[in-house]
Amino acid sequence: LWGGNTVARLARAPSGPKNAGRIADIDGFALPLKPLDNAPAFDASLPWSAKGGDINDASGLSMTPVYGVVEISEDEHIGNALAFARANGLKVSLAAIRHSMGGHAFDDNALVLDLRKFNKVTVDAAAKTMTLQPGARWHDIQNLLHPRLAVKAMQSTDIFSVGGSLSVNAHGMDHQ
């Protein structure tokens, strides 16, 4: 019965439900999706996109309860969110596109910093360098550089954030 249920969850059609629970549930050990007891009050000065609830990655296997999600778009948001987390004993997770699959990108009841809008990119064409924020996607970088310059080596697809790529030790291909 357990095996059939697990196979059915994992074999859902691409257009079907993406929430298949948590990866640890596959081994028959259900992890509790339990919110924090006595959670601190939400700081009204932070740009919340979610207060409480849960998030998942692209696999649909990493449903994780979170304290909340702060939408980061400015440097000061990071400092304020980290100060709030420190003052309230909250763990912190970072996320952008959420393709880092396997349950390692989130932590139960953490304050999640959503970096998708923390994505500014500047290019110094003369020096052939760029400065960027971790939420920048490879696709946006390639469009900004093309046709004058190009990324020398990158992953096989361009939908990922640069910060996410670095966080999972992703590597690319350089055919030369």
Mean pLDDT across the stretch 71-91?
97
Residues 49 and 97 in one domain: yes
Check whether 120 has a pLDDT greater than 80: yes
User: Are 77 and 110 in the same domain?
Assistant: yes
Mean pLDDT of the chain, nearest integer = 81
The boundaries of the domain holding residue 147 are 121-167
Average pLDDT over residues 112-132: 93
Does one domain contain both 129 and 77?
A: no
Tokens of 76: 């000061």
Domain boundary among 114, 135, 157: 114
In a shared domain, residues 99 and 20 = yes
**Reported pTM:** 0.78
- Tell which residue, 113, 109, 114, 95, has the closest CA to residue 67: 109
Let me know if residue 176 belongs to a domain: no
Q: Is 43 in contact with 84 (CB distance < 8 Å)?
A: yes
One DSSP character per residue, 112-159 reads: EEE-TT---EEEETTTTEEEE-TT-BHHHHHHHHTTT---SSB-S-S-
The stretch 79-88 carries a mean pLDDT of: 98
Is residue 61 domain-resident? yes
**In the predicted model, what is the mean pLDDT of residues 11-25?**
60
Please report where in the chains the tokens 């990922």 appear, as a residue: 160
Element spanning 144, H or E = helix 138-145
**Both 12 and 48 in a single domain?**
yes
Q: What is the pLDDT of residue 106?
A: 81
pLDDT digit string, tens, across residues 22-34: 665 555 555 666 7
pLDDT of residue 77: 98
Q: For position 105, which CATH number holds?
A: 3.30.43.10
pLDDT of residue 168: 76
**pLDDT value at residue 19:** 63
